[in-house]
Amino acid sequence: MVNELVWTYLFVISVGGFLLMGFDKLSAKANSERVPEVWFFLFSLAGGFLGIVLGMLAFHHKNSKRSFQIKIAAAAGLGALILAFLVLRI
């Protein structure tokens, strides 16, 4: 039961990260208000790392920003540790 909930949560948060990346790419093309980078870090920290990375690849967005990629990876690592702690504790 817990395992299914964790996988469902990770899927939903990853889809959200993917959509967020796509929305920011559209906003960039339209020269409208952008998504603050902190939202990408929060989604990554919350377990949506896969969606963020797939969004970067699919939308060719923020691929050349090395500092952004490092921050996303760090947030993903910390998020994985938190998730592992929570799952193993249950």
Q: Using one digit for the tens of pLDDT, what is the confidence trace for 4-56?
A: 888 899 999 999 999 999 999 999 999 999 999 999 999 999 889 999 999 99
The Cβ of residue 85 has, within 10 Å, a number of other Cβ atoms equal to 10
Q: Using one digit for the tens of pLDDT, what is the confidence trace for 61-72?
A: 888 888 988 988
Say whether pLDDT at 1 is over 80. no
Say whether pLDDT at 2 is over 70. no
The Cβ of residue 53 has, within 10 Å, a number of other Cβ atoms equal to 19
Q: Helix, strand, or coil here: 74? A: helix
Report pLDDT for 89: 76
Q: Where are the domains of the chain?
A: 2-89
pTM above 0.95, yes or no: no
Rounded Cα distance between 33 and 70, Å, is 24
